[in-house]
Structure 1
Amino acid sequence: MRTFLCTDDGVSIDSVYDPASVVYDGSRPPSRDLVFVLAHGFTGDVDRPHVRRVVAALTDYAPVVSFSFRGHGRSAGRTTVGDREVLDLAAAVAWARALGHPRVVTVGFSMGGSVVLRHAALNAGSDAAADAVVSVSSPARWYYRGTAPMRRLHWLVTRPEGRLVGRYGFRTRIHHRDWDPVPLSPVEAVPRIAPTPLLIVHGDSDGYFPVDHPRMLADAAGEAAELWLEPGMGHAEHAADDRLLARIGVWAVSRAG
């Protein structure tokens, strides 16, 4: 099922619902009450092969709602690189519940990982909150430029010629304005998420954000969060293999299923 959702600030968001798989390994059938809402990384979209691979893996455990953030793919608007994107995720979570799933697990990668953390913090204790949160390869703090990939990303976002490359090279339309005000950072968000179950996943070979980022997040969250520091794993969806996605699926069902 495919549709366009409208966010609270009037942006049209391309969204897809994939039912749970009808074939499973025999250990247990997929959950029908639970639904995953998948938040992709920067320059991704709902039709990218690496995003579809994650969707396919998670449907072994529950249905999946995926969507393209604003400015990505066929969604309208321009990306704010993690700020207003919380409204996109909120629209997707509301749609998932409207489809009849009482429990929602948000799963985000990289930029999407920061968005699921902020969404959980901003909606803590409300009907709009997720029932469990998985953040993969998220930054802990804003404006990080300590690695070459992040310096290239900042050029893409902050320079007019970079935004042209984003539009025509990556199908990503980037807003030209700076954040005002600066949004709540991920490390400021995580203490507000408890008692919602939180899983932080990060690779020890991540080329974008070194391991001090997930450790900062886990320290800030305290006992409310689990940290999986994955040996040899790189960054985000491309680096998340099927075994890791299966472990995430099992964790989600055990916490919110």
Structure 2
Amino acid sequence: MSSEAEGRFHIVDVFSTTSGSQRATLLTADGVRIEALYEPCTRGVTETALVLAHGFTGSVDRPAVRRAARALAEHAAVVTFSFRGHGRSGGRSTVGDREVLDLAAAVRWARELGHARVATVGFSMGGSIVLRHAALERDTGGHADAVAAVSAPARWYYRGTPPMRRVHWVITRPMGRFVGRYGLRTRIDHRDWDPVPISPIEAAPMIAPTPLLIVHGDRDPYFPVDHPRTLAEAAGCELWLERGMGHAENAVDEELLRRLGDWLTRG
């Protein structure tokens, strides 16, 4: 599994839903069909769009993703999508590598819809992907104008907590991938990374001058607080260490989503 230049993407199909929302199928630069949903800002703001990248085993229609999207839509238009191998998107999950291409397609769709400014916010696996996307797309038309990574790992192959050891079992073992497919509705590629993609800690210093925010809970059961601290130190960026917060989109409350929306739309 290895990322390649993002290049162009294609919109395979778009149809309108209620209240100006649109569902679309996007074709990534490597030919994977990605389901996506666009929702206009509930306050009529049109300049900015926020692209939300979910965590591992999430999807565009998961309740926690929908809750976050509704809260952020009070600040800007919101694009949500399902990473490859998740939801109704095609392909198989590469757990953070080629998913950069999925995010790039969603960002480009937001710009095709006329938004002059596009910011990304990612949770857990999605947090690692928004960091890598911001580094790799910094000088292209698919770039992000601001980036927030919530509950993101700093480095690959981390197994220091029981939840992460379970995640690695799901990813690396045939029985684990069977559980992932039929129990977690996530289709996982069996191949190892080749080459290993740049890690979040390697990507973080490459993002400047794009504004970057690292957000993490001090009770995150997956990644302890050395992960956000080393990311913020490497990037020289702002860090919000949230007291009592657990992991990713399931743990963010309405107040934090409001602050995230304010931060992502300023500028």
Q: TM-score range by the shorter chain?
A: over 0.9
What are the residue-to-residue correspondences of 1:166-205 with 2, within 5 Å? Answer: 166-205=180-219
The match for 1:95 among 98, 109, 124 is 109
2:158 alignment partner AA: Y
Aligned length, in residue pairs? 246
Q: Distance between the aligned counterparts of 1:127 and 1:11, measured in 2?
A: 20
Quote the residue 1:209 is aligned against.
Answer: 223
Local SS of the residue matching 2:59: coil
Residue 58 of structure 2 corresponds to: 44
Give the equivalent residue in structure 1 for 2:254: 242
> In 2, Cα distance between the equivalents of 1:98 and 1:235?
32
Query: Matched residue of 2:183: which SS?
Result: helix
Task: Give 3-state SS (helix, strand or coil) of 2:24's partner.
Answer: strand
Asked if the contact 1:31/1:253 (under 8 Å) is kept, the reply is no
Q: 1:253 maps to which residue?
A: 265
Match of 2:88 in 1: 74
Counterparts of residues 106-255 of structure 1 (less than 5 Å)? 106-222=120-236, 225-255=237-267
**Cα distance per residue 1:48-69 (max 9 Å; x no partner):** 0010000000000001000000
Match of 2:27 in 1: 6
User: Normalising to structure 2: TM-score of the pair?
Assistant: 0.91
Secondary structure of 1:15's partner? strand
Q: How does 1:55-70 map to 2 (within 5 A)?
A: 55-70=69-84
Gaps of 5+ in 2: 1-21
The CA distance in 2 between the partners of 1:5 and 1:219, in whole Å, is: 35
User: 1:135-183, CA deviations, whole angstroms, 9 ceiling, x for partnerless residues?
Assistant: 0000000000000000000000000000000000111000000000000
Q: Which runs of 5+ in 1 are unaligned?
A: 23-29
Mapped contact 1:133–1:199 kept (Cα < 8 A): yes
- Corresponding residue for residue 98 of structure 2: 84
Cα deviation for residue 124 of structure 1 reads: 1.3
Secondary structure of the 1:170 match is: coil
Amino acid at match of 1:245: L
| Segment drifting more, 72-81 vs 246-255 | 246-255
Equivalent position of 2:15 in the other structure: none
Segments of 4+ in structure 1 off by > 6 A?
none
3-state secondary structure, aligned to 1:101 = coil
Q: Is the 8 A contact 1:45 1:51 kept in 2?
A: yes
User: How far has the Cα of 1:125 moved from its partner?
Assistant: 2.3
Q: CA deviation at 1:7?
A: 0.2
Percent of pairs with identical residues: 69
Letter in 2 for 1:94: R
**Alignment of 1:16 onto 2:30:** no
